[in-house]
Each structure stands twice: as C-alpha cells, then as structure tokens.
Chain A
Amino acid sequence: MNDQPLIYFDNAATSQKPRQVIEAVKDFYENHNANVHRAVHTLSQEASELYENAHEEVAKFINAKGMEETIFVRGTTEAINLVAYAWGLRNLKKGDEVLVTLMEHHSNIVPWENLSKINGFQVKYAQLNRDGTLDYEDFERMITNKTRLVCMAHVSNVTGVMNDVKRIAKVAHDHKALVLVDGAQSVPHMPVDVKDLDVDFLAFSGHKMLAPTGIGALYGKRDLLEEMEPFHGGGEMIREVSFDPKTKRSIIKWNSLPWKFEAGTPNVGGGVGLMEAVRYLKRIGMETVRKHEEMLTKYAMDQMEQCCDKVEIYGPQDPSIKCGIIPFGFEGLSSHDIALFLDNYGIMVRSGYHCAQPLHELFGLKSSARASFYIYNTREEIDRFAEVLKEIEQF
C-alpha cells in the first residue's frame, strides 16, 4: 500500500476477511444460490438450510437459546433502529425515559432522539469520568422507575474501554427497565454470553468480525420478540395475508421468529459469510482473541509512549480495561495529518470523531486518530508503527 507493506490498524471500522469466509460466500453463489423459504426445489432447500444454519451458529456464538432469538439485519445500526421502531414506537410514551451514555456511537443516540420527537419521552445521558470511563454511580442513580430502556455500548468505539454491562443490567432490571447493548466492538473481540450478561437486546455487525458487509444480528429475548410488532413489512415475514370481504381489509398473520423481523429476500450470501466467520473465530477461541488483543494494546501503548514525546494517548491508560482500541493525538498535528502521514507509510488508522462527537467534546478534542487491532495484527507491525511515529516527530 503506497509502496509499503500494508499495516491495517482500522479494525474498529471494519475487519479484513479470511480466505475461508470469501470462499464460503463464493461457494454459496456458485453452487447453492436460490431464494430461501419460497420454493420446493432442491436449490432453495439448500439455500434455506444454509441460512438457517447461519442463524443457529450465530445464536450459539453468543449463547442465545436458538435462532428464534437471532434476527439477521444489515448491521448494528439497523438492529438498534429495529428495537427503536418495533419496540420503542409502541412502548415508549411521554413521561418515560431512555437512558444512554455519553460514550455512545451516534447509532445508539440518533434513533432514540428521533423517536423521542414522535413519542415525547425523554432521552437522558449518563455521565463519564474525565478519562472516558463510565461513572457507574451516576449511571445507577439515573436509572429510576421512569426509565424504560437503558442503551449502552459494551465497548467504546473511541477509547476501547469495556463497560460492566452485567452490573448495569441488574440495576436496570430491578427498576423494570430493559437493556439494549451495542456489541459492535465487543462481539468480534471477546467472549460474549447474553445469558450471563442478562441483556434484553444485543446488536452487532458481521463486517467487524471477519464477515462481509451488510450482515449483522440482533439478539432479543424470545418473549420480548414475540410481543413486538415487525419493523418492516413485506414478504417472508408473514405467514398469511387474506382478504376479508366484509371489512375490505387484509388479515395478516406474522411468520414465526426470527423471520417475522426479516422482511423481503434476505442477505443469504452475507449470512453464509457470517456463519463461516463465526466458525473461524470459534476455532481460534474468543478467550485467545481477547488475550492477543490485550497483549497488542499494552505493547502498542508502551511503544507509543516510549517512541516520542509528542504522542498523547487519550482515555484510560490501563490496557487491561481496554479492548484493542487506542485513540491518540500528536502535538502540532491534526488527527487527519496523523492519518495521512501514516497512510504514506502503508499504515491505515482512522481519524475524526469516529461517529462519537459527544465523547470528543467531553475530552475537549477537535478529533482523534485511532489505532485498532484484530487477530491478524502483530507486535512487528506495532514496532513499525512506533518507528513511523518517531519519524513524524522529526517533521
């Protein structure tokens, strides 16, 4: 890349794809492609079986009860919007509160602010400590009997800090509030068990965990999903649409879970890719993934501090509470300057707000550069990264 060996440190934005995933998608389109659940022919049955197996594989990966609790969507953003419009639209009203944190990605802020303008409920923001970690006492104080839903990131996409979702879920449930977790930065990087965390909804994207873009999942507790009305209407999500000549209206019966929430022809190829990505990660083991990234984060933070005086790492300084993400700045340079400098040396990092402007305002930053790691990154790549940072210091 730019005449240099590629070093990809933008994994919080999207991951690279292993050959096994690419081959699985290719094999699907070459040998099994058909629409699902609509035909009696063999090819459709093969495609349906693959698509259903993909749901089961993803459900097992997060320890959901089964595919009934695992809805395929385009990604985390669509999953959160599904909850907002399928559950929130009918259940949130004036006087209710939705509690989010100031570290959320815009995708876990905007749907709730938008919906509050329709339904009149209030969106409240849990505060953070100066280092960007959650102020748990403030958070817990803000959960009251008015709180209907708590929305929080499992891992911040800016600081990489891991939040104690289990602790907040317990307090929320004590107040009869539901809990929605943005797992975009946790599910790809660490073991996530929805039963252990006791969350009501978990949203995550396939493309950040080795799968293709345009596929992700929403986990929801079965009883909640059964009660919810669909977000999108169309084919696949209905069991029956009959016309009543008396009322001159259609009588509609929803399909069973998870299809009730998957209107239209689904992204079958993406689902096959996600299944293969999950199998790939399971072969490595999510504990191993977590340990590898913790090692890389610690090593990178040490190297960045040692290589030059002009680098500043934002957010918590303890790598053990972080999940493979390091936001940083360089004295005298904007985040975009840093990203362009590194790009010139073949090193890809992100710059800007990372779709989390409120957190940058809290830090008093115009923007930040962000290095984020995954399973294929190495200490040698971090050594090169530190060398280049040192070279930039000479500028």
Chain B
Amino acid sequence: MGPVEEYVARTDGTCGKDKDVIVTFKYGKKDEVAKKIMRKAKVEKSISNMIFELTFKGYSFRLYASGKTIFRDLKDKEELNALLSELLT
C-alpha cells in the first residue's frame, strides 16, 4: 500500500470557478499525517496550532487540524498524488 492509499480518505475537487482540491485524511491518522507534513513543509503562518499555511517545493497549501488540506493550481490528479506521496512518505 502506498502512502496515498494509507493516509488519504477522500479527494474532492471544489465547486466553483476556483479549481481547488480538498484532501481529507483518514480520521484516525490525521495527527500522524500532520506530523509528517510539518516535518517536510515550511510553516508560513498559523492560527492557534489549528490552521497552517505551508509551502513545499514551490507549492502553497493549507493544513487544518480537522485533517484536511486545500491545494491550489494543481494540473491534475497525477501531480496531486506525486505531491502527496512526497509529503506523506
């Protein structure tokens, strides 16, 4: 099992002109995911250790303590999976 299958519960494209992608991590693994991502990405801003604006290899995204992330301007699912694989490995 790859890291995406291991940690990701669902991936949803957003409704609206902005084509953002929301990734929901498996609830029982959300804290582990947060630790993994925080080790790799740089924290630009945060509120009360609940919401983090992060950057990683030129990508900017937000991580929420609820176990969700929002990614912007990704070309396709392959790019998303490649990014998640790097963050979650």
Q: Which residues of A contact B (CB under 8 A)?
A: 2-3, 334-337, 340-341, 343-345, 351-353, 360, 366-367, 391-392, 394-395
Contacts and interface: CB of A to CB of B under 8 A. Distances in A.
A335 B50 CA distance: 19
A357 B64 CA distance: 28
A337 B47 contact: no
B51 A351 contact: no
A207 to B, nearest CB: 19
B18 A395 contact: no
Contacts of B18: 334-336, 366-367
Nearest to A346: B66
A344 B65 contact: yes
Interface of B: 14-18, 20, 22, 45, 47-48, 50-51, 53, 62, 64-66, 68, 70
Contacts of B17: 360, 366-367
A340 B15 contact: no
22 contacts: A2-B66, A3-B65, A334-B14, A335-B18, A336-B14, A336-B16, A337-B62, A340-B66, A340-B68, A341-B51, A343-B64, A343-B68, A344-B64, A344-B65, A345-B50, A353-B15, A360-B17, A367-B15, A367-B18, A391-B47, A391-B48, A395-B45
Nearest to A335: B16
B47 A360 contact: no
B45 A334 contact: no
Sort A-B residue pairs by CB-CB distance and give the 6 closest, nearest first.
Answer: A367-B16, A352-B15, A366-B17, A2-B66, A352-B16, A344-B64
A336 B12 CA distance: 11
B64 A351 contact: no
A147 B25 CA distance: 51
B1 to A, nearest CB: 26
B10 to A, nearest CB: 14
A334 B53 CA distance: 14
Contacts of B65: 2-3, 344
Contact of A351 (B15, B48, B53): B15
Contacts of B70: 336-337, 340
A351 B70 CA distance: 13
